[in-house]
Amino acid sequence: MDIRPERLRLYAVTDRTWAADTDALLAQVEAAIDGGAGIVQLREKTLEKKEFLAEAERFVALCRRKGALSIIDDDVEVAAKSGADGVHVGQEDLEAGQVRAILGPEKIVGVSAHSVEEALAAQTAGADYLGVGAAFVTATKTDAAPIARETIQAITAAVEIPVVAIGGISRDNIRSLAGCGLDGVAVVSALFAQRDVQAAARELLQLSEAIARR
């Protein structure tokens, strides 16, 4: 599926850390969308499959109602069964070509990449966009070491599909990503750890618009 870069200016990635339950999590998602997030990834690492699917179905319905794209993290089966717009996979998950074969041509396939080689391989396999990072030190994924600014620039120059940076991005450091050729940023705590998620989204969208390539 061809995804417009403008959709990726602000890419929200959920984290249950700051939500008491699914209702609270979905309320945060709605606030993020109202603040300008054009695409949201539902990320759950501890839920049982049945619970994850039930939550995903509610998540997809919410995103559809609010006009945002819905992405499921890692789980291709949940993405397919919930009717999500797509799935995002890492280098340790199913290869993008396999994901495409399962989901079909109309769904979005996002892939994490940390080098030009990984980025080009994902593009060739049918990825619609790339998530590149970690851009900065991040507490969300402690095993994700930051990659060099030069690597981000090399990736965006090498591929034709949209690229978002992810990992430790905040209102305080996002400006340093200017000139990297990015189409947007993916954020977790910079949104969902904030008291006013909608206001945080609105500010981050403005900052992302300023650093995004045209």
Q: The domain spanning residue 115 has which CATH number?
A: 3.20.20.70
Selected catalytic residue, list 7, 16, 70, 112 = 112
Tokens of 100: 């495409």
Q: Catalytic annotation on 141?
A: yes
Neighbour-count burial for 90-102, b at 16+ CB within 10 Å, e otherwise = beebbbbeebbee
Total domains present in the chain = 1
Q: What distance, in Å, lies between the first and last C-alpha atoms of the chain? A: 21
pTM of the model: 0.96
Query: What angle in degrees, to the nearest 10, is found between the helix axes of 197-211 and 22-35?
Result: 40
**% pLDDT > 70, the chain:** 98
What mean pLDDT comes out for the span 26-37?
98
The per-residue pLDDT for range 120-146, each reduced to its tens digit, is 999 999 999 999 999 998 776 666 689
Give the structural domain span for 115: 5-211
Selected catalytic residue, list 43, 66, 81, 171 = 43
Q: Catalytic annotation on 176?
A: no
Q: What is the pLDDT of residue 142?
A: 63
What's the one-letter identity of residue 121?
Answer: A
The per-residue pLDDT for range 173-210, each reduced to its tens digit, is 999 999 999 999 999 999 999 999 999 999 999 999 99
Q: Catalytic annotation on 107?
A: no
Selected catalytic residue, list 58, 66, 81, 141 = 141
